[in-house]
Structure 1
Amino acid sequence: MSTVQLRRIDPSRNMARFYMLTVQPSLFGEWCLVREWGRIGSPGRVASTPFPSLPWPRRPWTSASARRSARDTPSPSKYLETKRAPAGAGALPV
């Protein structure tokens, strides 16, 4: 169904984390918001929250996704490098 995957890798701090949110059907006809997190390369932890119908998991899914991405994902501009461009042209992102 719907999946969001977040990763945070910082070699200077020996940090390699993942966080994944998935909305999927259960065996009992419900929908579950499944959260998985941990260190990349390890099985990690899993937590599942059941909901009676499909629209229900949307709010926790979007709030958990926004909260995680704001906290764990640094700004992409931090990783953009600039290349020296020919005279008369602006800097080009790599």
Structure 2
Amino acid sequence: MRKKTTPRDLRVAEYYQLLELLSRRQLPVVCSAPEDIHRILALRSASLLEALTEPPELLRTGERRIARAVVTAITAEGRNALARSARAVPSFPRAPSSVQRA
């Protein structure tokens, strides 16, 4: 019996896919897409990678945004998580990212 894929499972897979993509790139890597920056902040909070971010900008709408994040390293915890997820999580398709080489 196959487990039903939930929206949460898909979000988690997107985080791991970004982490995997970053692990295959030569670091540092610059990211400018808001959705990737959001994921990078979450991965950094989980101690899965190291990243530097620009200070948040205050937009006229009152929203704050971070224009750029620079991923400097994948931590040992991040590499362990990737190894575990490769065995447990199926691959989901992902749209091309704005991740660029610094």
In the superposition, the TM-score normalised over structure 2's length comes to 0.26
- Larger RCO of the pair (alpha carbons < 8 Å, separation 6+): 2
Q: Give the helix-richer structure, 1 or 2.
A: 2
Structure having the higher Rg: 1
